[in-house]
Structure 1
Amino acid sequence: MSARDTAVIVGQLKDREEAIDALYRVGLGLDLRDTQLLASALAADAELDSRSAAAERERAAP
């Protein structure tokens, strides 16, 4: 394996680890209702739309 191949693999693993870390921060931020933790996992211009999930819950309610 060449040094270039190794650098590519390391870069891919770093990207993957950052994505996993962001997903954990989203989940934990939601669970703890910690807006700062949640915001740290999202892009500055991110928009969350949970309207369809809320509508599903209303339809499924007994």
Structure 2
Amino acid sequence: MSDKGRNTAKADQAKGKLKETVGRAVGNERMEAEGRGDQVKGDLRQAGEKAKDAAKHIRKD
């Protein structure tokens, strides 16, 4: 994974987890849902970066 992609994915995941936790603590369902969405966004970005890395290794062989 590229450093930029890895950092962006981790940031999205962390932001989402924090937003979900705060939303749950204050009883804001919308914030909770947005937090889960941000986590999914980070997961997808991370999967995309891993796919790019896998494709690079395939091309080298």
Q: Which range, TM-score by smaller chain?
A: 0.5 to 0.7
- Using CA pairs below 8 Å that are at least 6 residues apart, which structure has the higher relative contact order? 2
Instruction: State the identity as a percent.
Output: 8
Letter in 2 for 1:19: Q
Match of 2:9 in 1: 15
* TM-score, with structure 2 as normaliser: 0.56
Letter in 2 for 1:20: A
- Is the contact made by 2:22 and 2:32 (CA closer than 8 Å) also made in structure 1? yes
Give the helix-richer structure, 1 or 2.
2
Which of these two proteins has the greater Rg computed from alpha carbons?
1
* TM-score, with structure 1 as normaliser: 0.55
Structure 2 portions without partners, runs of 5+: 38-61
Please give the root-mean-square deviation of Cα atoms over the aligned residues, in Å. 1.5
Number of residue pairs matched by the alignment = 37
Shift of 1:41: 1.5
For residues 20 and 8 of structure 2, what CA distance do their matches in structure 1 show? 18
Shift of 1:42: 1.8
